[in-house]
Structure 1
């Protein structure tokens, strides 16, 4: 699985918003590493800068200085729909007689083709195949006939899927969270204004105060002078929060729905031991995402927590891997064993998830080659059996190890002495969140929205089956 996207929106009482937007995006870099963009409005016109790469690669001092205005939105992109080129970098911008519009999107729509086809029949043209560009067309079209709030509501009725948005209509900054609240979005108070962001760490870096999460189906309009915000709850449905935000995607120091992500992961680790504990000499995480799980697991079992693997933080995303030997070398480039902590010892290795299983197999092999007497594998989430259609770049069903193998078969495939996962009820308990308020499509194959060829868990009246 890969990161999704990150969004930011800032409105200040005075001064330029581009620099704090830049800092906030830096804090959200983990959510998207393929592209970045900032759009500001100075009260008269838009200013835009975007490109491919990390935040530090896209922007320099001059770029930020040439983005004036108290209102700003920013976006970090990991493409789950659309090409990887500069044209598809967000925020998307359009100008019409009803003013300028800029939009940044975290999530994925499931009815993009349908909406795009309707616009093309009316003569509209598109420069990318991004679902966000379709959303911009829909919103701009609705603005011709309606005020901003009504145009947003009509757009939300027309599109389906996952979307947390920051948008800017002239110099007014707005946050929108889809009726199911799949992707996160929160509000923060700054010394001289307000911020909307995918995660609270973007507020922390600006020394701001987290106000609260944007509610599912809510539109938040920041005051144009940065003095406050208006709230409009346009839809009130049973939510379907993505539980993988807690398991993997969000930074551990982020707070979502009043729950520190790090604490949630430690609780998942505690439940892993409570339900599937095994006595071994050491408990070790797969760095970095397995650390909080392993900490909770080791504490619950009064077991020794010890690092068996060390991550190389200076390795990029890709390697030249023409042969199997080269692919195994690539794993060693990313993770090296600490042999003195492993030799002659039984090890419980803890990770957040198993997707294709390739890395898990290689890590078990590395531990055995380093002298581990036993390797037991524990996973802080349920088996991933189906793809995500709502904003996570995940392997296809054919590539998912758990799609056609049971736990014993996966254990044999990765070469572990034992293998256990948390189940959906465990996740619900750890998050103190009703099972019916979580999106579990990737681990159950049943989704909270209609996806062609897949099972939808909604009943005929639009409620979610099993929702508490």
Structure 2
């Protein structure tokens, strides 16, 4: 799985926002590394700079100096829809009769093609194959006929799927969260203005204060002088569909999402993992970095004598771009990324904790590494249910054919990764840790039940949820 995208929008009293936007994008870099961009407006003219690559590579001092204005938006992208090129990089900008528009999008629409065809028939020309341009064109068309709030509401009635948007309409900055709240978005207060961001960590970077989450179906309009904001509840829904994987994996652990500190949620999930399937071993260790909070909570819930330890060291300079043309080199990639600490592992029984198993390749190689380092037993615990289906809401996830849990039982997965035992966390434990009902969560990737009708897939009214099991070599 890869990150989704990160969005930010800022309005201040009178200072240029290019640098605050730049710092915010750095704080959201974990959500996307393919491209980065900023759009600003000074009350007279819109400015933009969008480039491929990391935030630090996409901007230099001159780029930031050229982005004038005290209002603007920013975006970091990992593509879940559209091509990986400058055409689909964001924010997407358009100028039309009613002014200038910039739009940054985190999420994924499921009716993009339908709306694109309708707009193309009306004379709209598209320059990309992404869904963000479709939203921008639809909103621009509505702005020709409606005021800002009504135009946004009309667009929201047409687009279906997951989205958190930050938008500039001339010097006005606004934020929108989809009606089921699938994607996170929050409001923060600065000394001289307000900020909208995918995660509160971006607000912290600016020394701001988190105000609250943007509510599902809500429009937030920042005052262009930084003095405050107005809100409009444009869509009401009985149930939400928050993406539970934000708390399990995607979000920074120091972010607060839907009133929950992500780090504490992960520790609670680790504690629940012990309650459901704990096994007393000499050492409990995380797969860095995402397994760390789970392992900490798991070890704290375990009896005295089960010790938390760092048993795997991560090489932070090996990323997705590492070239692995042969199978042998692909297998060696795990050794390049993670190396066991023999003194922690040798002669010990070990529980290794991760956030998920996707294809199973990495888990299998990690178990093998730990045995090679001298572990007597290796038990695997996962802080989420098995991933059995693809995501259509904005996570770049393997296809169903590549997902190890799509056609294998827990015991079959344990045999394939050669662990002494394997357990996943239950859906109920996820809901309990988030203080909500599972009916208010998007669980499509672990149940096959989706909050929207997906062509070729079943909805939550048609599928029985699979049981989450435990497997041991002794069973």
TM-score > 0.5, shorter chain as reference: yes
Quote the offset at 1:416 in angstroms: 0.4
Could you tell me how far apart the structure 2 residues matched to 1:346 and 1:14 are?
60
Query: Is it true that 1:352 corresponds to 2:349 in the alignment?
Result: no
Q: How far 1:322 sits from its partner (Å)?
A: 2.6
Matched-pair contact (CA < 8 Å) for 1:178–1:216:
yes
The residue matched to 2:100 in structure 1 has which SS? strand
| Aligned match of 1:26 | 26
Structure 1, residues 69-119: CA drift from partner, whole Å, max 9, x if none?
010100000000000111111001111111111000000000001111111
Deviation at 1:125, TM superposition (A): 1.8
2:394 paired with 1:396 = no
Name the counterpart of 2:296: 295
The yes-or-no answer on 1:363 pairing with 2:366 is yes
Runs of 5+ unmatched residues, structure 2: 466-475
Q: Work out the CA distance in 2 between the residues paired with 1:191 and 1:399.
A: 49
Partner SS for 1:455? coil
1:146-196 Cα deviation digits (max 9, x unpaired): 111101000000000000000000000000000000000000000000000
Query: Is 1:333–2:325 an aligned residue pair?
Result: no
Task: Check the 8 A contact 1:180/1:241 in 2, yes or no.
Answer: yes
The corresponding residue for 2:326 is: 323
Distance in 1 (CA, whole Å) between partners of 2:140 and 2:367 is 53
CA distance in 1, matches of 2:455, 2:31: 27
* 2:183 matches 1:180: no
Q: In the TM superposition, what are the counterparts of 1:174-323 in structure 2 within 5 Å? A: 174-237=174-237, 238-302=239-303, 303-323=306-326
1:15-35 per-residue CA deviation (whole Å, 9 max, x = no partner) reads: 101100000110000000000
Give yes or no for contact 1:177–1:219 (8 Å, CA) kept in 2.
yes
Q: CA deviation at 1:458?
A: 5.8
Is the alpha carbon distance of 1:458 and 1:13 closer, same or farther for their aligned partners in structure 2, counting shifts above 3 Å? Answer: farther
The 1-side partners of 2:261 and 2:436 are apart by 14
Residue 102 of structure 1: aligned partner: 102
Counterpart position of 1:386? 389
Q: Determine the structure 2 residue equivalent to 1:64.
A: 64
Match for residue 420 of structure 1 among 411, 418, 423: 423
* Structure 1 residues 313 and 172: alpha-carbon distance in aligned structure 2, compared to 1, 3 A threshold: same
* Structure 1 length-normalised TM: 0.97
- Partners of 1:449 and 1:458 within 8 A in 2: no
Query: Could you say what the CA RMSD is over the residues aligned between the two structures, in angstroms?
Result: 1.1
SS of equivalent to 2:82: coil
Residues 278 and 431 of structure 1, relative CA distance in 2, 3 Å threshold: same
The residue matched to 2:188 in structure 1 has which SS?
Answer: strand
Contact persistence 1:187–1:211 (CA under 8 A): yes
Q: CA deviation at 1:455?
A: 1.2
Alignment of 1:163-178 (within 5 A): 163-178=163-178
Quote the Cα distance in structure 2 between the aligned partners of 1:321 and 1:19. 37
Matched positions, count: 460
1:432 paired residue among 409, 432, 435: 435
The CA deviation at 1:324 is 2.4
After TM superposition, the structure 1 stretch with the greater mean CA deviation from structure 2, 116-125 or 391-400, is 116-125
- Could you tell me which runs of 5 or more consecutive residues in structure 1 were left unpaired when the two chains were aligned: 460-464
1:462 alignment partner in structure 2: none
* Whole-angstrom distance in 2 between the partners of 1:356 and 1:236: 38
Deviations 1:295-324 (A, max 9, x none): 000010032001111001111212222322
Structure-2-length-normalised TM-score: 0.96
Give distance in 2, aligned partners of 1:78 and 1:90.
10
Check conservation: 1:282, 1:306, Cα contact below 8 A: yes
